[in-house]
Amino acid sequence: MDTPTNKPEKKLRCGPIAASIWAQSRTVNGEQVTFHSICIDKVYQDGGQWKHTTSFAAEDLPKVAQLANKAYRYLRREDSQGL
C-alpha cells in the first residue's frame, strides 16, 4: 500500500466546518486503483487556541450534510472523468 500524501486532494468548507477528501492508491490484482476517504471536522477556539473536533451540535448538521453532498458530487464527477 502506498503512503497517502500529507495534503488532501480537495478541501470543502462551510463556515467552521470542513470536509477533506483524501486519495490513496493501492494495487489490486496488478492494477493501480485510487480509493477516497472523507474526513469532516469543525474548527473552534478554546482559550485563544484553535482546535478541531469531529463532534457537532444539532445546528451544525445541515452544514455537515451539505458538505457530505458536495464531497459525494465531487467524487462522482472525478470518477466520470476517469481520474
Residue 36: CA count within 13 A, CB half-sphere: 17
Q: Which residues contact 21 (CB under 8 A, 6 or more apart)?
A: 8, 9, 10, 11, 12, 36, 37, 38, 71, 74, 75
Residue 43 lies in a domain: yes
Q: Which contiguous run of DSSP H or E holds residue 53?
A: strand 49-53
User: How many independent structural domains does the chain possess?
Assistant: 1
pLDDT the model gives residue 78: 75
Strands 17-28 vs 10-14: parallel, antiparallel or unpaired = antiparallel
Residue 27 within any structural domain of the chain: yes
* Residue 42 included in any domain: yes
Say if residues 57 and 42 touch (Cβ distance below 8 Å): no
For residue 50, the enclosing domain spans 10-77
pLDDT in tens, 9-68: 999 999 999 999 999 999 989 999 999 999 999 999 999 999 999 999 999 999 999 999
